[in-house]
Amino acid sequence: MGSIRKFIEKKLKLKINEEKSKTAKSNEVKFLGMTIIDGTITIAKATYNRAMEKVKSLTPRGTHLALREAIKEINKWFTGWASYFKMTQYPSQIKGIEAHIRRRLRARIVKQQKKKRNLCALLRKNGVRKETAGKTVYSDRGPWNLSHTRAVERAFPVQWFIERGQKIVSNKTLGHWFGIERWVKLA
């Protein structure tokens, strides 16, 4: 760090920000929201967590927005965010954000059904068998847990959200992307 500091300050006549500058292993350094792990570019853990929090703020539990309007608002943010992070090599990270958006929206749909019988009827209307819908709805699970059950995911699959306008970026095939099944463990 000392020799690099001397070169930057003396030769290039630039000032180094001591708070942001450090020498460390590549997987410990975050640069523009990305990090390098095993020679591959990934979304940094802090950036990924901030994206999850942003999804949470864009999909509040109680809101006056219709579902399509909520999806439009999410898409405004997600389109730009995903376009920037397409330069990373793991589409599974982007797919994780997309899945989190759908789960938040499913939880909202579940919560909007004030009575369990209404939710059961909605699930049945969307193709879930009567027994499955009943077992799912009349369990002691809350909206967040119900949003990740097989019955609710079958009633509101990915295609259902796409038809209502959700942008999906992770299904594109870019030359530098790994397969969608490949995941990276963030430190």
Per-residue pLDDT reduced to its tens digit, 11-28: 888 888 888 777 777 667
The CA distance from 94 to 48, in Å, is 9
Domain limits of the chain? 1-28, 31-163
What pLDDT was estimated at residue 27?
Answer: 67
Euclidean distance between CA atoms 48 and 45, whole angstroms? 5
The pLDDT assigned to 139 comes to: 92
d(CA 149, CA 147): 6
Q: What is the pTM of this model?
A: 0.84
Asked if residue 71 lies in contact with residue 166, where contact means CB atoms within 8 angstroms, the answer is yes
Q: Per-residue pLDDT tens for 121-161? A: 999 999 999 999 999 999 989 999 999 999 999 999 999 99
Other Cβ atoms less than 10 A from the Cβ of 65: the count is 14
Token pair listed for 169: 């970026």
